[in-house]
A and B are shown apart, each in its own frame.
Chain A
Amino acid sequence: MIRIFKVSGHSLFPLLQDGQRVFCIKTFNFTKLKISDILVFEKEPHGLMIKELKSIDEKGYFVQGTDPFSIDSRDFGSISKKSIKYKVLFKF
């Protein structure tokens, strides 16, 4: 239910910094997600990624980093709710 992850990379700076820890709660199909939530999701071939939720529409969940070079929905499109594994509660 609860997981702590270590952030690797700078794509969410200044929201999250490289090496910072995030305290997360598991999400389920019924979990309500809102814009600007920081989400941990599975995306091949990258593996477990972390990005900010920017919008929700019929195509799915559009996640994005703050860095212009961030690899996110701008590259691989919206993600499914099933692929979203955790939501960040707080960073430390």
Chain B
Amino acid sequence: MFKLNEVKAHCDVPCGIYDPSAAQIAALSVIRMIDLMNTAEKGADDVAYHNDMARYVAVKETEAIKCKDEIAIIWGDFIKPPHLIKYPDLHTLAHKIMMLGGAAKQHASREKGMELLAAVNEFAAIFWEIKGVKTQTVTAPYAPSESVISPVL
């Protein structure tokens, strides 16, 4: 019949740009680095091998931290008390991601990396549901070619 005018009760800087895809890419990068570490061949050039391995470890470290940071920003800035009423396990999930991010730095286990990606995907699914955006499960078109939850845009 008629459109109600809106009054803004907004928070944060009014850009409203939050997206868990950066965390998903970071989790994929962690897995990719673990895969590279596990398949690296020592060969004749010992120095080159150690150089490669050091770089894989450094990138894994950086991406695991990035993954945690991206989730922490959405968790701390975007998620509000009403969301927690609807998704009461969200705090537990976010904390789990923080711990899995730490474990991904500590270990070189693919299983740990996959656990991190699974938790981040779960977080992404909730995030997009809050935003009222449908999601789909797609396979990343690049190594490590694992599944990610993606918005249907």
Interface residues, chain A, CB within 8 Å of chain B? 3-14, 16-18, 21-22, 40, 46-51, 65, 67, 69-71
Contact = CB atoms under 8 A, between A and B. Distances in A.
Nearest to A22: B7
B9 A7 contact: yes
A71 B82 contact: no
A53 B58 CA distance: 51
A76 B98 CA distance: 34
A62 B82 CA distance: 26
Given A10-B80, A10-B81, A46 B6 contact: no
A22 B8 CA distance: 12
A11 B81 contact: no
Contact-residue size bin, chain B (C-beta under 8 Å from the other chain): 10 to 19
Contacts of B11: 9-11, 65, 67, 69-71
Interface in B108-152: none
Nearest to B6: A8
Contacts of B4: 4-6, 21
Interface of B: 4-14, 77, 80-82
B5 A49 contact: no
Interface centre among A5, A10, A47 (most CB of B within 10 A): A10
Given A4-B4, A6-B4, A17-B82, A11 B9 contact: yes
B9 A65 contact: yes
Contacts of B82: 10, 13, 17-18
A78 to B, nearest CB: 18
A69 B7 contact: no
B61 to A, nearest CB: 30
A5 B8 CA distance: 10
A68 to B, nearest CB: 8
7 contacts: A9-B8, A11-B9, A12-B9, A16-B9, A48-B6, A71-B10, A71-B13
